[in-house]
Chain A
Amino acid sequence: MKKQKSDEGSFEANMKRLENIVETLESSNIPLDESIALYEEGIKVSKYCIDKLRSSEIKLKQLKKDIDGKLELFDVDTEE
């Protein structure tokens, strides 16, 4: 079974939030203060997403079976 994502900060969640904010600002007649709050949040989320895309590198891990057949995870250095 796929578990619910524990981190609120997944890239997908942030992108969805951004799309959601854009749509809300675009479509509905919302109070001014709220629209500014949404706009601020939208910009913040945008920055987070762009930074994440620019700065990260793939984290590679390799699974290995120990003698008892139990699976373990090892970090692998990714070299270009």
Chain B
Amino acid sequence: MAIKNILTVSELTRRLKSLLETSFTDLTVEGEISNFKRHSSGHIYFTLKDGNAQLQSVLWRGRAAHLLFTPQDGMKVIAKGSITVYEPRGQYQLDVVSLQPLGIGDLQMAFEKLKQKLSEEGLFDQEFKKSLPEYPSKIGIVTSPTGAALQDILNILNRRFPALEVLLYPVKVQGEGAASEIAQAIKDFNKHYDVDLIIVGRGGGSLEDLWAFNEEIVARAIFASKIPVVSAVGHEIDFTISDFVADLRAPTPSAAAELIVRDRDDIIDNIRNYCYTMEQNIRSIFDNRKEKISSLLLSYSFNQPKDLLRQYSQRIDELERYLDQFVDHNISIQNEKLTSLSKRIASLNPKSVLQRGFTIIYRNGKIIDRAIKLHQEDDVIIKFHDDDKPARIS
């Protein structure tokens, strides 16, 4: 006798597959991660579960690369995806398209929690902040080689202070694995490369995009760094854990480049002021000596060995002639340079620097370029782009 409707296992499975895969698409599932495994192929396998049931889940390598955080067992998540059936094992599974920590506030909460923990440990304490070199010559950058942040930093460094060697350590700046790459880069710089400072950062993005810079592993690497670290993540309004633990927080990657080096035109002005001061000083040194000799010649002319004084006087005249030549020569060189410099300066509007929020501080009409030159109770003038304001140092 013939039994009807006999199905092979394959046939049944195929029917189930087609039924399930057409009925259960575009799902959003909430659950807790367990048995999290990353296969060497890059695919991620885990189980989503709640109190009563389990669901096998898979996140293929291509999508795993876009994960914004590091999933762990026990983490509550929302998974989006569709049901697929794996015929060889007769198993259905959730083919995950995207994975997010549960609840909008979860990332924010994780952020606050870590911030508090590290703060209590003292990782943000001012006493651990290293000062940055005034004129760095070699800097390290930890960022994406293709991101806008790198270009922004390089453009500004090239314009402001190009006497630099820059070592780029390319890393992923978002998604699964980004945090450990960033942390490793900081460690590698400390171990192998003698740079004066490290900029760690990326351009703007959502809280999720910036998440790598909120991970503990990055914070610990920054704290452990013997080399000063500048954190330059996102926009002005974005604060990350990296910002708190770094030796200096820059509001943006561009700002980091502005903060770590002084503008070359300012430095050149500074140097020219030094030259002027040196010239004034050496002139007055000469004048003093000459006066002294004249008075000596007058007062002791009767009983002092005149010859010696005359010799000395002659020597001074000689040196002065030499100095005159040297200074004249030097001035003509400076003037040549000045012409080309002033052409360059004309193409830049110095006011624009002030308009960007920078100020100049004067004391007795002289520019104060270093904090150390200011003392308590000093009266200063702060020059803004629109007006000057008097102030007193507290």
Contacts and interface: CB of A to CB of B under 8 A. Distances in A.
Interface in B276-313: 277-279, 281-282, 285-286, 289
A76 B168 contact: yes
B154 interface: yes
Given A58-B166, A78-B154, A3 B194 contact: yes
Contacts of A33: 319
A12 interface: yes
Given A57-B158, A58-B158, A63 B274 contact: no
Query: Which of B135, B271, B285 has the most chain A CB atoms inside 10 A of its CB?
Result: B271
A11 B150 CA distance: 24
Contacts, number: 119
A11 B194 contact: no
Interface in A1-22: 1-3, 5, 10-12, 15, 18-19, 21-22
A43 B163 CA distance: 20
Contacts of A32: 285-286, 289, 316, 319
A18 B135 CA distance: 13
Interface residues of A, number: 44
The interface residues of chain B, by DSSP majority, are classed as helix
B367 interface: no
B343 to A, nearest CB: 12
A78 B164 CA distance: 12
A22 B277 contact: yes
A71 B134 contact: no
A39 B167 contact: no
B336 to A, nearest CB: 12
Interface residues of B, number: 47
B73 interface: no
A50 B163 CA distance: 11
Contacts of A67: none
Interface in B322-379: 322-323, 326, 330, 333, 337
Contact of B167 (A18, A73, A80): A73
A62 B169 CA distance: 6
Contacts of B177: none
A36 B282 CA distance: 7
Given A19-B274, A42-B275, A11 B163 contact: yes
Interface of B: 133-137, 145, 154, 157-158, 161-170, 188, 192, 194, 226-227, 264, 267-268, 271-272, 274-275, 277-279, 281-282, 285-286, 289, 316, 319, 322-323, 326, 330, 333, 337
Interface of A: 1-3, 5, 10-12, 15, 18-19, 21-22, 25-26, 30, 32-33, 35-36, 39-40, 42-43, 46-47, 49-50, 52-54, 56-64, 71, 73, 76, 78, 80
Given A53-B267, A57-B158, 15 more contacts: A2-B226, A11-B163, A15-B134, A22-B278, A25-B277, A26-B277, A35-B281, A46-B274, A46-B275, A50-B337, A53-B163, A58-B158, A58-B165, A59-B164, A78-B158
Sort A-B residue pairs by CB-CB distance and give the 7 closest, nearest first. Answer: A12-B135, A25-B281, A53-B264, A56-B163, A59-B165, A62-B168, A39-B282
